[in-house]
Each structure stands twice: as structure tokens, then as C-alpha cells.
Structure 1
Amino acid sequence: MPFVADALTATYKGIPPSFQWPVKFCFYNSLIAFVLGAATGNVSQVDRVWTFLPTIYAAYYALLPLWPSKSPLPLYPFVPETAHPDVIRNYSPRALLMFGLIFVWMCRLTFNTWRRGLFNLKDEDYRWEILRGKMPPWLFQMFNLVFIAFMQNVILFVIAVPVQIAAMQQPTGLGTSDCVLAVLALLDVAMEFVADNQQYAFQTFKHTGKKDEWPGAHIAWTKTDLKRGFITRGLWAWSRHPNFFCEQTFWVLINFFPLVAPEYPGYAPPLPLGAGTSLESLFPIIPGLVICSLFFSSTKFTESITAAKYPEYKSYQQRVSMFVPFLTPVWGLYLTLLGKKAEVDMVVYGQDVALDEKKKA
């Protein structure tokens, strides 16, 4: 597609050197995702590479000295000669640490995606099918082009931009903030792994009757749980989406690495497309804002579907916080003041659950 290549070359004049390859890679990924989605009728193309793309961008920035100044093959990483010499010659310890954490994140998410069978080329996110039924075909294809194919790819690029900022900072070593954030990020990934295990174990029990006891998922599921149809035990008793809460928290922690470093704000990152200075002050926190906005909006849509399917889900929404576990006791206190807590607890947790807890005590 020569015209596409020419258009990209023309826009490079306004793109900082360290963004040129990622922007090109993101554009072609988006274009391929749209074409495949339109051709096959399956628009979950981005979903299948979701676990890998942020890691690829992070690896590019963490390993900048490895890349040549010109791409020897299509889409092969490169760093233009106009990039700062220090960036081309020296590895950033902070960027390498962030890449390592994102790689661990990728391994967890890839494993969970694989065991759920979502890498199957015929699989499509059920939400797209529902949304397709609510839109005229032409409008859904526009949505596929703008959001599903392009915006999602842009988001996956943007959330890795903090690694670019860290690479530009060129720290001589790791500081206290790096160590603290790294520990918190690893704990976050571990908690998300537990949440995934609990959901997977519940769904396995629900559909097959078998008890798969993954780490952190040793829960005695009951007939009430099966009748309810959705999980309200373990971490899910504190958050309606503990996995999503951990996902957002992880990327916010990644966003913090360069922002709380001793070198900040010594490096002011330029915007990829040379936008005005009014946005440049917000640019460092955009990755965290973008990922949280995405999860909030997509979760609201998901919950509207779930609430229509399971009558008890509205009680669950009243009792348990959407994301933040620390807010759940507040919701409980509020229901107590209204005199509804016992009634809602019975719907959400079930009488036999209370009896089981009583027997253990």
C-alpha cells in the first residue's frame, strides 16, 4: 500500500524520533485489525493480541540501543539517527524494570486468555455481538473502524508510553520509588491472578460441576452460588470486578514510575503529533486516565448485560463496590442505615453461605 506508506512518511515530520516506529506499528496493526474484522465478521482481532502489544511497545523503549537507525524489514523496530545520542547508546535501568513487570503482566493475562479458549480464531467477545444487534450494519462498521480497531490499538500503545518517558530520563540507577512501585505492581499482578482463578474455578463448577482448585480459589461453592449464576465469594465479595481493579491499578503504578522518579520533571516528553503546550502538561498522566476511562465505560456496558440476565445482580451492585474493595464496607454501612443490609446480604451471599461460615466458627 504505497499511498499509506507515503502518508505515514509525511506525518513523520511532526513525530519525535522515539515515537516514529511505535506510531507506524500501531497504525498498521489497527488497519490489519479492521480489515480482518470486516472480512471475517469477527471483530475480536485486537482482543487476541491485547496481551502482547503493550509488552512489544515496552520492549521497544527498554531496548532502544538494540535497534538500528533504519528498518531492514517491514515493521522491524528502528530508532532514527536524530534521536538523542544518550538514548541510542545507554539502557535505562528504570525502563528495563518496567518492561520486566509488563512482561510478567503479559504472562499472567496470556495464560488466563489461553485457558479460557479466547485465542480461538472463531471466538468473539459476546459484547460485540450484542452491540452489533443494536446498530445498523454501516454504523457498526464505523464503530469497528474507529473504536474496536484503531482506538483500542492506540490505547495499548499509550499505556506503554511511561516506559518511553523512563527511557528518556536515563537514570544511572534505581531509586527507592522504583523498588516500592515494583513490589506493589507484583503484588497487584498476584492479586489479579487470584481473582482470575476464583472466577475460572466458579465458572468451571457452574458449567461442569467439577471443582478446579487453583491457587487462591479453594472455595466451597454452594447450590445457592449456582442458582445465583455469578460469583460473589472470595475477592468478588469485596469488588464486583477485582481483576479489573487490579488491571487499572497495575497500569497506574506503571504510569507513576517516571513521575515520582528523582529525574522528573527534568525530561518533558513531547507529544507524538506535536499538539499544543496546553496538553503537554497533562501528557504524562494520560496513560493512567485512558486505561481507567476504558475500563469504567466497558464495565458499565458489561454490567448492563449482566443485570438483564441475572435479577440478583442489582442487589450485588447495591452491596459491593464496582472496583475499589475499600468502598464495599461503606456500601454496607449505607444499607444498614436504610435497614436493608440483611435483606441484600441474603440475596448476594445466600443463606447456606452464612450457615457454612457459622459451622466453621
Structure 2
Amino acid sequence: MALPKLFALEDCSDFSKTVEPFLPDLYALPEQLLHTLQARESFVDLYTRTNPLVSGFAFSLFLGAIFWVVSEINKNYSQVDRFWSILPTVYIAHFNVWARLAGIPSHRLDGALLFSIIWSCRLTFNYARKGGYNIGSEDYRWEIVRKNIPAWLFHLFNLTFISFIQSILLFLIAAPAYPLLLSSQFESELSTADMAYVVMELSLVLSEWFSDQQQWDYQTAKKQYQTTAKVPQGYTQAELDRGFVTRGLWAYSRHPNFAAEQSIWLVLYQWSCFATKTLYSWAAVGPSFLVLLFQGSTWLTELITSGKYPDYSDYQSQVGMFVPLGLGYRPSPPKQPKVIRTSELAKKQKK
């Protein structure tokens, strides 16, 4: 069977019952694919006979190999970056399609797919307008890492982390959809709580849109100011000379877009826990690793930013990296030169 036999809602998030029994299928899948191809059998039949978690994970491994080969050939290591905004939605759609083919109610997965599609459209648009899909475009951080470690170590880093681990991660953050699929066998209809989770997810996507748009507006104004030496309407010269955005959501969080991004996948995981009436489950692996990844990548981003902008350390002291710390950023007043009176100068000379 492609799905486990479960007798209680809580079993839907039990690793030993829903994941472990299907691990051998992962090793057998390449041979089954080859047999299906040689025998010219239906790939749809193989798809529905294979556990959806196994087939999704296998696809992430396949993509990892593609990312590695293409990145080494092109010497461009942003291959995963170009698919970051697309693949989680592909995986949630995979669980949704599988459920429909298997005759399992998909209302919860429809809700998950709805917010994920909107998330993908927003993030893909933002990545595209920054030039992420331009030929030769690459995340500037990979170049910095490449310059600071030996070549052989970077190639190993590309093989393991950049290509395979990131590809698997994009599957794992969407993997909480699997417990949602299993729980639909017991509770087929959307509850008020389910709809609340969808609204929460859409709200987080909306906050990402606001924060990214605020940053885009600021960077556009700064570029215009640097080109024309004229301060665009709505901004001050001091604000643009500072070099980084500190208004809107950015006055309360140094990375409000990153905070929302992590929250989106943590909320999906919490939704799966609610749907299966458990406090925690194996599905936390993906969102937890995503949080760790953001900690490392944000640290590197801020290290670079603080080296470019002198005022960034003051911004860091007042504003939390992800979670707001206080009432928002207040720029330190410019230092005034000390005025020395003539009488004081005369006293110093007498001494």
C-alpha cells in the first residue's frame, strides 16, 4: 500500500507508522522506474502506487544532482536560488494531486496550495525584478564564500550544502503537507481552525510583500539620488546617505521579510500538528533547519552590511534581527563639534 494503515488521528504524525515503513521503497524506486519505462507501463499507476512522501523526497534528490552538475558546468552557484520560490509549491501541489488520484479528500491541501501559490508568485516576482533570472546572475554571498575558502572545499560545499541539502530542504519545509493529507482520511472537511491557518499564512505573505516593497522603494530612491544628486520626494538626504532602509516594517525588524519567511513554514508545520492533534512531530525537521539556515545567512549578510555602512551598528543595537525589541529605530543625532571658548583656551595656555 502507498499509505499506512492508521487507526487514530494522532497516528498521522507518527514517524514509525507513516515514514519508516516506506523507506525501503525509496531504494526500490529507481528499479521500478526503469521497469515501467522498459515495459511501457503507465507512470500514473507507478505514481499512485508509490508513497507520496517517498516520491517527493526522491524528486528532491534528483533535482539536487541536476543543480550540482549545472552549477559546476556554468561555474554559477545560484541554481537552487532560481527554484527557491517555486519548488515548495510544486511539492504541496504534488501531495494535492496524489490525494485526488487516490480518492482522498483534499480540502486542507487545497488551502495549503492556495497560500503557497500566492507565496510563490510574490517571491518569484521579487526575485525576478532584482535580476535573479538574468543570465550570469549569482548571489553575491557565494562569491565571498568562494574567495575565503580553498577551491576543493568550496566544490565539496557545493556538492553537499548548496546543491543537495538545499534541494532536500525545499522538500522538507513542504513535507508537513503529508500529515495534512493523512489526517484528511479522518476529518475530510475544513474546520474554522483550518481556515484560520490559511488566513494566517496569507497574512504572513502580505507582510512579506510590504517589507520587500519598502526595501525596493528605498533602494530605487537611493539609486536615483546617487545618479542625479537629487533627493527623491518622500525621503531625506540623511536617510539616503545612511545607505540602508530603516522605515516602515524595517524600523522594527532588521529583516522583516526573513522573519515572515521563516514563520510561513513554521505555521504550516504547526497546522499539521493541529490537524493530527499532536504537540510536535518529525515534520519539524524542515522548518527547524530553515530557521538555522536563516541564522547563518543573515549573520553573513549583516557582516557584509556593517562593513559598508558605519551607522549599521547603531541600527543593530536598537532593532532586533527578526523580532522587534522596542518602539522602533531612532537615528542617533549627528555629533556636534565641541565649542571651545576663548577664555577657556587662555586658561589652558596659562597652565
TM-score, normalised with respect to structure 1: 0.74
Change (3 A) 1:183 1:191: same
Matched, 1:38 2:54: no
CA distance in 2, matches of 1:136, 1:108: 37
Change (3 A) 1:90 1:305: same
2:316 equivalent in structure 1: 317
**After the TM superposition, which residues 1-361 of structure 1 pair with which residues of structure 2 at under 5 Å, given as runs?**
9=30, 17-66=51-100, 88-170=102-184, 171-209=187-225, 220-261=234-275, 263-265=276-278, 282-325=281-324, 327-329=325-327, 345-346=332-333
How far off its partner does 1:146 sit? 0.6
Indicate conservation of the 8 Å contact 2:172/2:283, yes or no: no
The one-letter amino acid of 2:175's match is: V
**Gaps in structure 1 of 5+ consecutive residues:** 68-87, 211-217, 269-280, 333-341, 352-361
CA distance in 2, matches of 1:60, 1:259: 20
CA distance in 2, matches of 1:91, 1:238: 42
The one-letter amino acid of 2:51's match is: P
RMSD (Å), alpha carbons: 2.8
CA distance in 2, matches of 1:151, 1:6: 19
Change (3 A) 1:133 1:11: farther
Indicate conservation of the 8 Å contact 1:63/1:96, yes or no: no
The runs of at least 4 consecutive aligned structure 1 residues that moved more than 6 Å come to none
CA distance in 2, matches of 1:264, 1:10: 37
Aligned length: 289
Aligned-pair identity in percent equals 38
Indicate conservation of the 8 Å contact 2:68/2:163, yes or no: yes
Q: Secondary structure at the match of 1:98?
A: helix
Change (3 A) 1:255 1:219: farther
The one-letter amino acid of 1:122's match is: G
How far off its partner does 1:168 sit? 1.1
The one-letter amino acid of 2:222's match is: K
How far off its partner does 1:291 sit? 1.6
Change (3 A) 1:8 1:225: farther
How far off its partner does 1:7 sit? 8.1
Indicate conservation of the 8 Å contact 2:99/2:181, yes or no: no
CA distance in 1, matches of 2:161, 2:242: 34
Q: Secondary structure at the match of 2:110?
A: helix
2:19 equivalent in structure 1: none
1:339 equivalent in structure 2: none
**Gaps in structure 2 of 5+ consecutive residues:** 1-25, 34-49, 227-231, 337-351
- 1:51-77 deviation line (CA, Å, top 9, x unaligned): 11001000000121455xxxxxxxxxx
How far off its partner does 1:176 sit? 2.2
CA distance in 2, matches of 1:234, 1:254: 26
How far off its partner does 1:345 sit? 3.4
CA distance in 1, matches of 2:32, 2:282: 20
